[in-house]
């Protein structure tokens, strides 16, 4: 299925994209009728994202923006 997606050069509908993406083993992006491969995440990226969210959460503790 991924080979089919990567070979598509014509514009596709949102419905076609969703159908193909559901059957795909990798993730893609839909932009202006084109299906674009998304890069895979790395361990380093996951660590950066987790640290950012943790620190942001710490800053929001005891602030008016904290969730109830």
Domain assignment present for 45:
yes
pLDDT at position 27 is: 85
pTM greater than 0.85? no
Q: Is residue 41 part of a domain?
A: yes
Instruction: Give domain status of residue 67, yes or no.
Output: no
In a domain, 68, yes or no: no
Does any domain span residue 65? no
| Residue 53 to residue 19: CA distance in whole angstroms | 32
Query: Over its length of 68 residues, how does the chain's per-residue pLDDT go in tens digits?
Result: 555 655 556 788 999 999 999 998 888 999 988 888 887 778 998 999 999 999 998 988 888 876 55
Query: Residue 53 has what pLDDT?
Result: 95
Three-state DSSP at 28 gives strand
Q: What angle do CA 53, 31, 15 make, to 5 degrees?
A: 105
Residue 24 counted as domain residue: yes
Q: What is the pLDDT of residue 55?
A: 95
pLDDT at residue 8, as a whole number: 54
Domain that holds residue 35: 2-60
Residue 6 lies in a domain: yes
Instruction: Give the separation between CA 42 and CA 56, rounded to whole angstroms.
Output: 21
State how many domains the chain has: 1
SS3 content of the chain, % helix, strand, coil (to 5): 50, 10, 40
């Amino acid at each position: 299925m991924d080979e089919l997606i990567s070979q598509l050069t014509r514009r596709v509908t949102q419905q076609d994209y969703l159908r193909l993406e559901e059957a795909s083993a990798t993730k893609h992006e839909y932009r202006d009728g084109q299906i674009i491969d998304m890069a895979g995440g790395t361990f380093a990226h996951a660590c950066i994202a987790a640290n950012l969210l943790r620190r942001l959460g710490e800053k929001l503790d005891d602030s008016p923006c904290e969730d109830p």
